[in-house]
Structure 1
Amino acid sequence: MVSPSPTSDQAPALGRAETPIAFIQAIATAYTQRGLRVDEALKKAQIEPKILKKNNARVTAMQMELFSGLAMQELDDEGLGWFSRRLPWGSYGMLVRASLTSPTLGLALGRWSRHHGLLTDDIHLTLTEHQGVATLRLEEARDLGVFREFCVVSVLRNALGVACWLTDSRISLTTTHLRFAPPAHADSYRVLFDGSTHFNADMNALQFDAGYLALPVRRDEAALKQMLQRALLLTVRPYRRDRLLVERVRQTLAQHPEHSRNADDLAAWLNMSARTLHRQLQEEGASLQQLKDSVREQRARALLLRTRKPLKQIATEVGFSNEKSFIRAFKTWTGQAPESFRQSA
């Protein structure tokens, strides 16, 4: 985990106490297992030792970051006791560095997940995409014991933080799945993860729109060195901008074709200028024409397979001025003529 390097004179910033004491208790357990005293780290993070006995207590996010950063250094374990072997200081930074050369987030997260297996085989991370949904899954290869919840939540949040940092974008989750039962502090999960959270699920996973996987990686080695020098814990909170304009455009083209005649109409519908529309799409690795073609192709395929409408009518509904231009475009998209595609289905 890319983590803070706190000093003894740091004081936690004020904020709402939303972080469950269960995570502080887990770190304290790691100290005990290593035969180390936790008192000094608690003091530096301004956490009263007596609240460790109050299972309904909370600490602030800053206290959590400060305490976990101290613990990682004192334990020399960025896994904070989760795994059967320690993850020496810098392990998670190495994973991020290995992903920097990836052109897109999908490739970067795939590398991050595979390389995580080099650090420990106690858990396995996989990234899949199906029907427009990306799933980052965490499988437990052994019993994580008292560290289970803390480990699963931390690794998934760190992966999400890495994804946001690499793309300099806020990535909105649709669903979080967790295999364990809802804990007493289940209400804290509205802060830990956006979207809906399902406990007692059949997997541990984060799910989000697969369109994010096409976002370009915006960071480089210089940015990584700066980030590590500043020693900030990766979180999703600094990333206010959701760069997934591609999906908004795709939905508009499909649901409101009357606004897709030209870039000016579409941009006005999306409350931006045509210049901004083209620029942001280019930043996300797409173009308006590509998206138009994609939506038209999907619509044409559906009409050919599900209806017996003549080609001329389908051409009009898909947005072509005549049947010949539709046939030519469909051949470019699929390598088949529309009638051949319909007959072969």
Structure 2
Amino acid sequence: MLPICSEFWIGTIVALCEDVLKRPLHNLRLYLPYPDPGYGESYRAHFNCPVVFDAATLRLEFDAAHLYDRAPYASSLVLQKCVQSCESILAELESEDSIAHQVRAMLMENPGEFPDAGEVAKALGLSVRSLGRRLNQSGHSFQSVLNETRKEMALQYLQQTSMSVPEIATRVGFSDASNFRKAFKKWTKATPATFRPE
């Protein structure tokens, strides 16, 4: 890792921790795996801790007691929502070998010419019926995964490229822009233009 990247991420981590805890971290010590550039004291002043150069690894040490510190503005409601969200994502990743993710990955490999359920099933070594059953068990259908993939791709193209709506329609598997606009409005309750950056 380049020194500037190491320093950026270490600085960000320290600043974030201190911002959340609303106090400085104690007993900090920074180890950098490259030589002192000649102004090591500036590092020590900036990070406000001892800095060891030519270390074997990039490492940040701090008082382990901070691991048990409670953030002053902690919210049990936000924690509950975050835990629920993480558990939901984890359950989806673990369920049925993440069959929906496997299908989505195959669809995204072929933008504009998405394979049908039969082709996907064959590539996964399943019958169409088995694919449908496994998707259903994880709360999906082939069509729902296809629609979600199309929506994700369309949003990405709208927000990150200057492609026209007809071009995007083709890229996400629609033969004409009109049908794409209808589907997009059904997915997002908005028109494609709404998602274009100003």
TM-score tier (shorter): 0.5 to 0.7
Q: Given the alignment of the two structures, is residue 272 of structure 1 paired with residue 126 of structure 2, yes or no? A: yes
Displacement of 1:247 after TM fit? 1.3
Give me the whole-angstrom Cα distance separating, in 2, the residues matched to 1:338 and 1:248.
27
Q: Which has the higher helix share?
A: 2
Unaligned 5+ runs, structure 1: 1-113, 115-125, 136-208, 217-241
Give me the whole-angstrom Cα distance separating, in 2, the residues matched to 1:214 and 1:244.
5
> SS in structure 2 opposite 1:244?
helix
> SS in structure 2 opposite 1:286?
coil
Partner of 2:150: 296
The one-letter amino acid of 1:265's match is E
Q: Is the 8 A contact 2:113 2:173 kept in 1?
A: no
Partner of 2:109: 255
Q: Which has the higher strand share?
A: 1
Partner of 1:282: 136
Partner of 1:305: 159
Given the superposition, is the C-alpha separation of residues 299 and 324 from structure 1 closer, same or farther in structure 2, using an over 3 Å criterion?
same
> SS in structure 1 opposite 2:163?
coil
- Aligned with 1:322 (options 167, 171, 176): 176
Displacement of 1:259 after TM fit? 7.3
Aligned length in residues = 119
Q: Is the 8 A contact 2:169 2:176 kept in 1?
A: yes
> SS in structure 1 opposite 2:83?
strand
Q: Given the alignment of the two structures, is residue 339 of structure 1 paired with residue 187 of structure 2, yes or no? A: no
Percent of residue pairs identical? 30
Q: Deviations over 1:99-142 (max 9, x none)?
A: xxxxxxxxxxxxxxx8xxxxxxxxxxx7254xxxx37xxxxxxx
The one-letter amino acid of 2:99's match is L
Give me the whole-angstrom Cα distance separating, in 1, the residues matched to 2:121 and 2:135.
12
Give me the whole-angstrom Cα distance separating, in 2, the residues matched to 1:254 and 1:325.
20
Q: Is the 8 A contact 2:181 2:192 kept in 1?
A: yes
TM-score normalized with structure 2 length: 0.52
Displacement of 1:336 after TM fit? 0.9
Q: Is the 8 A contact 2:135 2:141 kept in 1?
A: yes
Q: 1:73-84 to 2 correspondence within 5 Å?
A: none
Given the superposition, is the C-alpha separation of residues 258 and 274 from structure 1 closer, same or farther in structure 2, using an over 3 Å criterion?
farther
